[in-house]
Every structure is written in structure tokens, then in C-alpha cells.
Structure 1
Amino acid sequence: MTATDRAPATALSFCIPTFNRSSTVQALVRRVLQCDDPDIEVVVLDNGSTDDTLSRLASIDDPRLSVHTNGSNRGVIFNILHVLLKARGDYCCLLLDKDSVDPAGITAFKSFLQKERPATGFCEYGPATGHVADLFEAGLPALRKVGYACHHPSGYFFEAKRLRGLDIATRFSDFDYVGHFPLDFMQAELSLQGRAAVYHCDLFSPEQLTATAKKSFGTHAGKEDAFFSPKGRLKMATNFSRHIARLPIDGGQKRALITDRYLQGLITSTLGYRRLLANELICNHYHIATRRVGLKETLSEAVGFHKGFMQGLSTDAPARAMALSTTTIALAFTWRAIGALARRLARAWA
């Protein structure tokens, strides 16, 4: 491991895992460091890049920057987990090497974390609305709003001391279990320990997908269970549900959360998948060709998801005890549909 001189413990660490994106990661680090707040740091963990990432980062002279390397490529999940563990801040915030941040908003974000002390949360993207954040009490409210959200990774934040207490490098390093969503398992558990937050100020910006945007290193649709495919969504909904079945909450809360995961997975594996395959920019990013998904295929995927989800729960003893009935699912789906219609009507009448 190599690293620059470490800054003293600080309030907020921006943690950037990187691989072979020397120009974008250098620009991103410089952008964060445009904020002159002395109580922040930037931690970069290079995953064995073969380009000039390390030399470019070495050219940045700022004591708030710490650069580490794995020496060789240890995989996406390893890099994400370990860059968070290298943070010295009271809070650590993940930032992907292809995304961006507004340095003018960093100090306000740090102040929000110091004042409200959420255990975990994520930042929404888009224009600021004047509404700083939503806070959810520990337990079911936080779990339903923040846990298992599968949000874009940039802007996920954690209270570092609580995060280290989860032993994340050991418990969430199995890609077959956590897929591309280790952060969501971590947020679920931290949502039981303290309040969770969704921060609404315009701070982070994901990479804009264009015809010239770099393709994903971590995802390739050549795999049948790529995370956005119906099989991938089924796998994650099942694994999230198995995780829920082991949380220290009561049975009714577990059933409610597992129902949420069923509905989330069903929608993303059918309608979500159909929309994705119609989007040329997204398909190019994930190395696949666009195509039209017809109604017959969508209905077939829905049936397959339902059967696979129920079978997945039945093979896991704790999850089997939380088995869902068709009636429970139908009622939850109906209630969601009514809620969505009510919100749409309210917006129309506003």
C-alpha cells in the first residue's frame, strides 16, 4: 500500500474507489478539494489501475488527500468496502470516480450531518428544492425509506463508527450474495441503530450518459444475471428478503419489508427492464443492444419472478417463516396502486 501523508481525524471523508479512470478521478478529486473546508478529506483507493491514475493523483498537493492502492485488481466490491474503511472522518461518503460533486455545497452537507447525526442515508440528485432533507426514525420508518433502496452509489453516507461496527469487509464481500448492492445491506442494518436521512440539496451529479460516455467496468449484460436483468432483480429481491428475515425486528415488520422487496423486484424486473432495453444510451453503457420487450415477455417475466421469489424464500428457513400469501401480495399491490393514483391526482389538482 502507498499513501500520501494522512490528515488528522476529520468530520467528513469523501471516499473514491477507482480503476483506470485517471482523467476523471483526478478532475473529481480537484473538484472536491476546491472546497476550502479544512474539516474534510478525500480518500482514494486505486484498484490496480494500469493507466496513469497514481501519477496524476500524486501531482495534487493537498494534505487533505490520501491515496492508497490495492496493487492489483481485487474486484469492485472489495474496493468499495475498503475505501470506506480507510476513512478517518466521523462520516464517510462514497463518490464514484466517474461522477461529480458541487464543492460549494460540501460545507452545508457536513454541517447537516454534524447537526442531525443520522446513522446513514443517501443524497438525491437534481435541482435543490429548498427542502434540505427528510429524516426517518430508527427502525421500520428508516428501513422502508432508506434500506434496500438500490439508489445510485454516489452520495451514500454512513456514520463511520457505526459502519466499522458492522464488520463490512467480512460480512458483505460475497458478490454472489450482495451483488452490486452491498451498501444497501449496510444501510438496512444501520437504519436499526439510528435515524436515516435522504438529503435533497443538489450536491452530487451522476455521470451523464452520452454516446461517448465510458462503458461500465463493473457490469456487463453478457451475464444472464446482470443486476438489471429479470434474473438479477429476482436474485437481489430474494437475498434482501433473506437478510430481512434475520434482522432483530418483529415478524410483522419483516413481512412488511419482504412484501416491499417483492413489489420492488417485480416492477424493476418487468416494467423497469422493458424501459431499460428501450434506452440506447443505457444499453450502450452496459454493453448490450436495444430491443423491444413485448407484453407476452413482460407477463412471462412477472410469472417467473413470482415463482422464483416464493421458491427462494421456501429454501431459507428464517425467510420461510415469513412466507407471503397471495392475498397479502395482492392487497399490498392494490394499496400501492391506489397511493400512486392519489399522488398523481393531488399533483394535477395542485
Structure 2
Amino acid sequence: MAILSISIPTYNRVEQLKELVESILFIDTPDIEVVVTNNGCTDGTMAMLRGIDDLRLKVFTNDKPVPGYYNMILGLFNSNGKYVLHCNDRDILCTERLLEFVEFLKNNNYSYISTTRNYLEPTYDLKVYDKGFSSLLNQDYSRHPTGMVFNRYLMNKYLQKETYYKYVDDTFTYCFLLRDLLIYEKSAIYDNRIWNERHSSIKLKLASGSIYKGGLYFEPERICVFMRSVIKHLIGNPYFSLNENQEKTLIISVFKYFKKQLIYKKECFVDNRECAHYGMKQRFISYFEMKKSYLQYLHECDDVLETTPYTDSLNREWSMEKNKIMKYLLR
């Protein structure tokens, strides 16, 4: 059995997929397998994959096209390694670091490992969090999926892929699976810089898989939806066995986390390559538009807080946080 499965769900990105798969299989080790889940490609992907003669390549083809995040969940559960690393078909892996990462995995047992993007030299700093509350508090509530490493043994033992089909309408479907894993074993954030997005010029040619009928994931309306879905998943859920103080801490943590995501909208709209990638028209985002987004988000948080048992006890703490945000907006 492989130590590390690399799961690559794909749809019509044959050139990028070929380069990615071949770069991984160039590594001469039985400890790594590549698992491609084909979501009904029509661009020659299957012909390309059939031309690769390597037993470490496993290819699954869906009977019919499914939503992209559904396909990602299928890919994770199609894998056989001790761990499974997700990689988007348009991203790249730093193959020179994969072998040392496999050695790291052989000697450790985590429910989940968050690996870092390769834009600086790795520090190999390792942050480890106890299972349950500590991991829930310190791991991302949402993130770019490439570089997420799941304990496949724990997934198969405790989780059912069908559970996550109900979250397919959420851009961060896979983060529900992540949170569910965190109660079974400690987790880690590992600064090994093992993955990267391709050069931004590639985005001019490729449509994002995040384009969704409900809006782009960095739009304020969607961020409010994500914030609500995380709160609903965590708070009052007996699965996580959280006490009152832990739930209160997580509520404020979730509010702060998604508040920071709002700034990405402004960054995207000023970059022509990002706009092409997401199918947007480049434009300037004014201070007043950003202020409106922040105020909308704060109002949503207030509404969510009213639905929890902790409205009165958290009002003071949340009011202090809101005041900080308002001071920032009025600078």
C-alpha cells in the first residue's frame, strides 16, 4: 500500500494534467500513487492517461459529470494510501520535496496536515494541535484545497462519502470533511512549501472551478453563507463534544476568520488575470463599496449570534471586535 495517494480530480485540462501526473510519476518510489478522477472529460484526457504505463496511476471515471466538489470528495475516497493529498489539476507539486514528505508521513500519525504553498524557502516549522477543540480552532475554516492532506485510514474507518454530498452547494465542501476528521487524532500545519499554483498567466486560459451559480466565493454574500455554514456545523453539534467556553471561542474565531476574507474581493478585481480566471470584468473597488461589504458582514454576524445560546454572554466581546473594525473603516 502506498504511503501517500495524490488525488487529482479533473475536467478538460489535459495539458496541465499531463504535466502534473508525469512530474509525480517521475519519482521512483512505490510509496506514492496518483489517483485521477475523471469527471467526463471531452478533451482527450483519457487517451493521454491510457498512454501512461505506470501501475502507480489509478484512473476512475464517473458514470456522468457531477458537481466539481462532489468529484473532489470521490477522489479522496478513491485513494488507497495511508494519507491522501488533494491537488487541483491546474496546480503543481514541488516533486523534489515529495519524498522527504513521505518519510515524514511514515513516522507520524495525524488526522490532517495542512501543507504550505511554495513561494519562499521552507522553514519545516511544524505546529501540532491536539485532537478536537485545539485542531478545530487552529486549522483553516476554508482554504485553497491543494495541499490538504487527509488521513485516509481514519476517513474510511469513521466517515462516509455520502455524508458530504449534502454540502456540494458549498464552495468549501471538503472543509466539512476536514473538521469531522479532527476529533480522531491530532493535526498539524507543516511549512514544507510542497505545492503551488501555476503562473498567473495560466489563469488567463483556464476558467476557475470556483465559478458557482450562487456567486464567487469572495463576494460578501457568499462569505456570509460560508460563515453561517461553519457555525451551523460546529455549534450545538454533539459530534464534536464541545463545552460552552469552547463553543464561544469558536464563534468569535469564525467571525474574525471570514471577516478577513472580505479583502480578497478588492485584490481580485484589480488583477486582470484573476478577473479572466473568474470571468469578471476588471474594475476599481471603492472604499464605500468595501465599507458596505464590512457592514453587511457585521450585520450577518449579529443575526447568527442571535441564533446561538450565547447571545448575551458574547455580546460584549463581539461589540469590542466590531468597534475595532469600525475604527479601521473610519481611518
What is the TM-score normalised by the length of structure 1? 0.85
Aligned ranges for residues 200-349 of structure 1 at < 5 Å? Answer: 200-210=191-201, 213-220=204-211, 223=213, 225-245=215-235, 246=237, 247-269=240-262, 271-312=263-304, 314=306, 320-323=308-311, 325-332=314-321
Cα distance per residue 1:311-338 (max 9 Å; x no partner): 34545xxxx22447442124457899xx
* Aligned residue type for 1:123: T
Contact 1:45 1:70 in 2 (8 A): yes
Letter in 1 for 2:192: C
Q: In the aligned structure 1, how far is the partner of 2:190 from the partner of 2:217?
A: 25
Q: What displacement does 1:201 show?
A: 1.5
Write the distance in 1 (CA, Å) between the matches of 2:117 and 2:208. Answer: 23
Q: Which residue number in structure 2 is paired with residue 180 of structure 1?
A: 171
Residue 102 of structure 1 deviates from its aligned partner by: 2.1
Deviations 1:232-268 (A, max 9, x none): 0000011001111113211211111121111122232
The structural deviation recorded for 1:183 is 2.1
Counterpart CA distance in 2 for 1:249 and 1:17 is 34
Which residue number in structure 1 is paired with residue 127 of structure 2?
A: 134
Q: 1:174 to 1:216 in 2, by over 3 A?
A: farther
Work out the CA distance in 1 between the residues paired with 2:315 and 2:229: 20
Extract unaligned runs of 5+ from structure 2. 326-331
**For residues 187-214 of structure 1, what are the alpha-carbon distances to aligned partners after superposition, in whole Å with 9 as ceiling and x for unaligned?**
2222222111112113211122116633
Q: CA 1:299–1:14 in 2, change beyond 3 Å: closer, same or farther?
A: same
Aligned counterparts of 2:300 and 2:321: Cα–Cα separation in 1? 19
Residues in 1 aligned to 2:203 and 2:265: alpha-carbon distance in whole angstroms:
23
Aligned partner of 1:79 among 56, 64, 71:
71
Alignment correspondent of 1:145: 138
- SS for the counterpart of 2:188 is strand
Residue 166 of structure 1 deviates from its aligned partner by 4.5
Correspondence 1:169 to 2:161: yes
- Deviations along 1:287-329, one digit per CA (max 9) or x if unpaired, are 00122222222222222112223334545xxxx2244744212
Alignment of 1:47-66 (within 5 A): 47-66=39-58
Between Structure 1 and Structure 2, how many residues are aligned? 321
Relative to structure 1, the CA distance from residue 118 to residue 332 in structure 2 (aligned partners, 3 Å threshold; closer, same or farther) is farther
TM-score (norm 2): 0.89
Change (3 A) 1:211 1:88: closer
2:113 maps to 1:121: yes
> How many angstroms apart in 2 are the aligned matches of 1:272 and 1:213?
18
Q: 1:59: how far off? A: 0.5
- Amino acid in structure 1 at the alignment position of 2:123: G
Native 8 Å contact 1:13 1:43 kept in 2:
yes
User: Bigger shift: 201-210 or 11-20?
Assistant: 201-210
Contact 1:147 1:187 in 2 (8 A): no
